[in-house]
Amino acid sequence: MQIKAFIASLEEWAPLQYQESYDNSGLIVGDPEANCTGILCSLDCTEAVVEEAIQKGCNLIVSHHPIIFKGIKQFSGDHYVNRTVLKAIQNNIALYAIHTNLDNVIHGVNSSLADRLHLENRKILAPIPGLFDQNGQAVGAGIVGELPLETEPEAFIKWVKEKFNLSVIKYTKLNDKKLITIALCGGSGSFLLDQIRAQNIDCFITSDLKYHEFFEADGKFLLMDIGHGESEQFVPALIVDYLKRKFLTFAVLESEVKTQPISYLK
């Protein structure tokens, strides 16, 4: 089966036109006409992931984050992006990214978080006006849903830490208000703070928040920063599950390489 068949399936799930204007989702390196020998799914594409693909006989890497965001003027091997791309080209490995287009669909990145919190009555937090998927579902950033039961803030934070296997969580000052309506945005979500304030939301879970952005909660909602990689840790498994359901007999693997570049001193 050719690589383009898998690309077509991925883009049926998360069409490229759903990605943000700054993004670089899609086929980055490789020949779509080549026969696919196996697929390796990862959060990031690094030299170690390419090496893993070589060892496992996979000639297509599907990562969430694109290895190339900006134009590259030279391939000198002095930067990890250059080395990763060169290694892929030299070994005939195609690199495909499914990034903000997967962020913006209801059954994408944010659903992998919402599932673990058992959120009900889910909808897109910030829908793009006039844009709907093939099922008539709104397309846009973030997800908002409801917990099965009202929960005390402190108990909820501990539960999130456990469910997401987190070393640390940054969060705003707690009040006595019980939580029911939860908003999620995997990856960087500070651009959604206006939406959070405008809606009746009890808690917003995201990452990459700056110091002064925590003040935006202003006692009105619980604001939690769980870390960028941590908020997207379930994406590789999400992609694997999708492709395995579409291609029942094909080799689709989740990368065993831990690409998280950040360590925490406990």
Same domain, yes or no, for 130 and 183?
yes
E strand map for 93-178? 94-97, 120-132, 138-151, 170-171
Taking a C-beta distance cutoff of 8 angstroms, is the pair 152, 195 a contact?
Answer: no
Amino acid 78: pLDDT: 84
Amino acid 85: pLDDT: 96
What does pLDDT average to in each consecutive run of 10 residues of the chain (266 residues)?
98 97 97 98 99 99 96 84 96 99 97 98 95 88 98 97 97 93 98 95 98 96 98 98 96 97 90
Where among 43, 70, 102 does a domain terminate?
Answer: 102
Same domain, yes or no, for 39 and 129?
no
The answer to whether residue 253 is domain-embedded is no
DSSP 8-state assignment for residue 254: E
Same domain, yes or no, for 59 and 14?
yes
The model's pTM is 0.96
Same domain, yes or no, for 146 and 227?
yes
CB contact set of 104 (below 8 Å; sequence gap of 6+): 14, 18, 19, 20, 124, 128, 139, 140, 141
CATH number reported for the structural domain that contains residue 222 in this entry? 3.40.1390.30
Q: Whole domain around residue 210: which residue ranges?
A: 104-231
Signed CA dihedral, 117, 10, 230, 38: sign only:
positive
Amino acid 45: pLDDT: 99
Amino acid 176: pLDDT: 87
The answer to whether residue 115 is domain-embedded is yes
Domain count, the chain: 2
Amino acid 175: pLDDT: 87
The answer to whether residue 245 is domain-embedded is no
From 58, 70, 264, 52, select the one nearest 161 (Cα to Cα). Answer: 264
Note the helical H segments in the chain. 3-13, 47-56, 80-90, 100-103, 109-116, 153-163, 193-198, 228-231, 235-246
